[in-house]
Amino acid sequence: MILTKKVILEEIRKKRIKISPFNKKNIGAASMDIALDNKFRIFESKKVTLCEKSNYKKYSNLIRKNELIIMPGQFILGITKEKIKLPEDICGWIHGRSRFARFGLSIHSTASFIHPGVNNKQVFEISNTSNIPLVLKPGIKIGQIIFERTEGKAKYTGKFNNQKL
């Protein structure tokens, strides 16, 4: 079941869902807007042979910017301003916002799922699919999370637990 505004706010009030920093205005009818932080990973133009041990950090540079221009076809990583903690019976899905998708901005390639029991910031897989340069500024609400109750409990303990960019 997807959680509605009333249920999301109740879960936050009970401290089962924790968002830091939290702004009640970011809660919509059945989602929560999430903002971009000022940290980005810019990939070098090198050939990468993908395997289970591939480390994206070896092929990218971590930068902090108050404004970043993403060129057409460029792919970068960003991270949420918010740290998100979910209980073991609630998961989430990251989606882009249509107002920015209409300019060709995509905020996730494939990894949109937020596991139950996480306690971290979420990574954006940002692509400019348009033919125009796009300017991103920290604090812009480029995505949203849709929360969903799981059947049973689970806790994420994988490689990206407590992830950093």
What is the set of active-site residues? 125
CA dist 67 and 131 (Å) reads 19
Q: Are 111 and 123 in contact (CB under 8 A)?
A: yes
115 burial (CB, 10 Å; 0-12 / 13-18 / 19+) is: middle
Structure tokens at 57: 């950090």
CA 49 to chain centre: 25
Residues 6+ apart with CB under 8 A from 5: 27, 28, 29, 30
Q: In this structure, are strands 18-20 and 119-128 parallel, antiparallel, or unpaired?
A: unpaired
